[in-house]
Amino acid sequence: MAETQMPTARTRVVREADRAVYDREATYRILDEGFVCHVGFVAGGQPFVIPTSYGREGDSLYIHGSAASRMLRQMNDGVVVCVTVTLLDGLVLARSVFNHSMNYRSVVVLGKGILVEDAAEKLAALRALSEHILPGRWDDSRQPNERELKATSVLRVPIEEFSAKVRTGPPVDDAEDYSFPTWAGVVPLEMKAGAPISDRRLLPGISAPEYIQNYSRNR
């Protein structure tokens, strides 16, 4: 894949430009930690934004859904998309309401979705989606059958035009507000897995595998 010169006119961060990240490796770290993306597209003059799970394989994002879904039908017609992923890392509490903020990492990918027709690529894409959410689970589960594969569509979005934006650190107040008598700082937020809860219909002798017991999103 030819490397697109970054940033492009469409992906250049304008507001808070100092938070912009155009590095592909850093962008992939954000994508690989996220669970849900929002896919924006226009159908019949009406904008839609659909939340969905995703997976990354190399320089491609894979999105799946029902073959009958509005989103995937539109993608088959060559509609361009905007895919976003956001990770929230903390609440930033300033001395003034106006300067409150959040620590976050976000990615925007612009491109055109390509419906995956090849059976082998489609299966590999579904595996990438599964492994993105829970590494090790695909090989430990029943594989999709022909009926399930037929009812599912997979969209490939090449990661060619993208940008990331990151905010870290403490609040930034106006100089005159630092003497205001209230607490200021950061409330860190993180996604943490709890103890696995076994299905009551498990076969005897089956326990949660190590990849579930030690699950963490921070890779």
- The CATH number covering residue 100 comes to 2.30.110.10
The span from the CA of 35 to the CA of 21, in Å, is 20
Q: How far is CA 64 from the centre of its chain?
A: 13
In the numeric block, which tokens belong to residue 175? 């100089």
- Cα atoms in the 13 Å half-sphere on the side-chain side of 153: 17
The span from the CA of 84 to the CA of 96, in Å, is 29
Q: Give the domain extent around 129.
A: 17-172+199-213
In the numeric block, which tokens belong to residue 204? 């005897």
1 — pLDDT class (breaks 50, 70, 90): very low
> Is 138 inside a domain boundary?
yes
> Is 189 inside a domain boundary?
no
> Is 112 inside a domain boundary?
yes
Could you give the number of structural domains in the chain?
1
Continuous segment of H or E residues that includes residue 74: helix 70-76
The span from the CA of 39 to the CA of 62, in Å, is 11
Lowest mean per-residue pLDDT among 8-12, 60-64, 202-206: 8-12
67 — pLDDT class (breaks 50, 70, 90): low
> Is 109 inside a domain boundary?
yes
Higher model confidence: residue 42 or residue 169? 169
> Is 1 inside a domain boundary?
no
Task: Please enumerate in sequence order all residues whose Cβ is within 8 A of that of 47, keeping only pairs 6 or more positions apart, or say none.
Answer: 40, 41
> Is 74 inside a domain boundary?
yes
> Is 188 inside a domain boundary?
no
Lowest mean per-residue pLDDT among 40-49, 88-97, 177-186: 40-49
Among candidate residues 44, 41, 46, the one with its CA nearest the CA of residue 63: 41
Q: How far is CA 162 from the centre of its chain?
A: 13
> Is 34 inside a domain boundary?
yes
Mean pLDDT for 87-97 is 98
CB-based contact 209:25 (threshold 8 Å): no
